[in-house]
Amino acid sequence: MENSLTQYIELYREQRQAIEAAAPAALNALRGKALGVLETARLPRKGREDYEATDLNAIFAPDYGVNVNRVNLARNFTPAFTCDLPNLGTTPIYVVGDTIVVPDNRPDDGAIVATFAQARQLCPDVLNRYYGAVARLDDAATALNTLLAQDGLLVYVPRGVKARPLQLINLFNAGAPTMAVRRVLIVAEEQARLQLLACDHTPNTTQRYLSSQVVEIVAGKGATIDYYDMEESTPLTSRVASFYLTQEADSNVLVDAITLDCGTTRNDFYLDVAGERAESHLLGMAIAGAGQHIDNHTFIDHRAPRCTSREMFKYILADNAIGAFAGKILVRPGCPGTDAYQGNRNLVTSDTARMYTKPQLEIYTDDVKCAHGSTIGQLDEDALFYMRSRGISFDTARTLLMQAFMADVIDGVRIDSLKDRLHHLVERRLAGEAATCDNCPIHR
């Protein structure tokens, strides 16, 4: 299709009444602006931009079904799943397609966890103030999500509240090709704390699916947020996800993107470091093979003095996998004392795998400490020889070296039980086994 956005614009115009009927006013208020952007926009195409390794236009081109009439796809489905990580003590929230199921018996810890529809009654001011306030509508994929979103998940942590850890479980199980329009809004007020793990699974491996995701995160003064995003999907699943974060003074936020299995994945991260002494950690890891495609774009915007950002993405690519990373750190005028680092390290273990990388620094302030670097290499032959000379098999030695390569990214996780589980999942994935949790029946 020349412009795959056209079919979605036509869908919205034909089904506008149904799309807007049950949606909160905050969502409907932004559709006009999103439509205006899409009428003149095009999704990026591979090789057509200054740097583009993923053809987003082709990803959205197939004729996917969209759940305009809000059929409850979660009925009689979510009770079969218990995908909570051991000892993490999370409260699970299920999203089947884009139907959200928030448990009625969630612990009363002072936080509000609700669908957007529920938030109209529980905290309308929060939804009206923050929905769409962080996301960039000039981005075509985000504008499309904004045009079609009918509901979403709100996590609101009031001032000083330490919320119980949450787990957001995104599932695909429809019997026909489907696009899910998923939206998440996280607001942590002053001195609030939140840990959230989002994981994507595709139990039905026979259908083509597309996930359109937009996550907005607002970190108030002194707030602490951990957001972990883990994808374990299938070769037939495509995902286009955009993450937007804004930080006030003294806040500390960790965003960690973990891709263990995928089809075609594109993640965009936009971090707005807007408050003095804010601290940002952006980590990512990807393991891909057998035609899988994983692309991460990042932009960290330093707009306040004396802030710190640490960014590291690592990839291991095998077979004919394709990996891409494009990252930029911008330090604006008037931001002395900025301490920023960006790194991208990659292992390419076959002659047919490909890695594209483009790290960037743009600095307009003196008295800063900024650095970046990127490497693409293969396994250390001397280390392999040394290990084999001591009786370790080639396959075991190879797996151990790849585990060691990923270790520092995994060790950046700030939940010990999740860190331990990730070491186990990565070990299984590198050994060629399914990287699934032992207590999770999704892939059994």
- Here the tokens at position 51 are 């740097």
**What does residue 60 show for φ and ψ, rounded to 5 degrees?**
-90, -5
Distance CA 122, CA 185 (A): 15
Say if residues 103 and 166 touch (Cβ distance below 8 Å): no
State the pLDDT at residue 244: 98
- List pLDDT tens digits, range 225-271: 999 999 999 999 999 999 999 999 999 999 999 999 999 999 999 99
- List pLDDT tens digits, range 358-406: 999 999 999 999 999 998 888 777 777 767 777 777 777 877 888 888 9
State the pLDDT at residue 132: 96
Q: What DSSP line would sit under 415-435, residue for residue?
A: -HHHHHHHHHHHHHHHTTS--
Cα 46 to chain center, whole Å?
21
State the pLDDT at residue 443: 42
Q: Within 13 Å, how many C-alpha atoms sit on residue 195's CB side?
A: 13
Cα 275 to chain center, whole Å?
23
Residue 444 above 50 pLDDT? Answer: no
- List pLDDT tens digits, range 262-277: 999 999 999 999 999 9
State the pLDDT at residue 85: 55
**What does residue 273 show for φ and ψ, rounded to 5 degrees?**
-90, 90
Residue 442 above 50 pLDDT? Answer: no
Using DSSP's 3-state secondary structure scheme, residue 102 falls into coil
Q: Say what the pTM is.
A: 0.93
Computed over every residue of the chain, the mean pLDDT equals 90
Distance CA 382, CA 431 (A): 21
pLDDT tier for residue 306 given thresholds of 50, 70 and 90: very high
The Cβ of residue 164 has, within 10 Å, a number of other Cβ atoms equal to 16
- List pLDDT tens digits, range 150-160: 999 999 999 99
State the pLDDT at residue 403: 85
- List pLDDT tens digits, range 164-217: 999 999 999 888 999 999 999 999 999 999 999 999 999 888 999 999 999 999
Say if residues 257 and 269 touch (Cβ distance below 8 Å): yes
State the pLDDT at residue 2: 80
Distance CA 18, CA 146 (A): 15
Burial of 283 (0-12, 13-18, 19+ CB in 10 A): buried
pLDDT tier for residue 87 given thresholds of 50, 70 and 90: low
State the pLDDT at residue 84: 46
Q: What is the 3-state secondary structure (H, E, C) of 145-191?
A: HHHHCCCCEEEEECCCCECCCEEEEEECCCCCCEEEEEEEEEEECCC
State the pLDDT at residue 224: 98
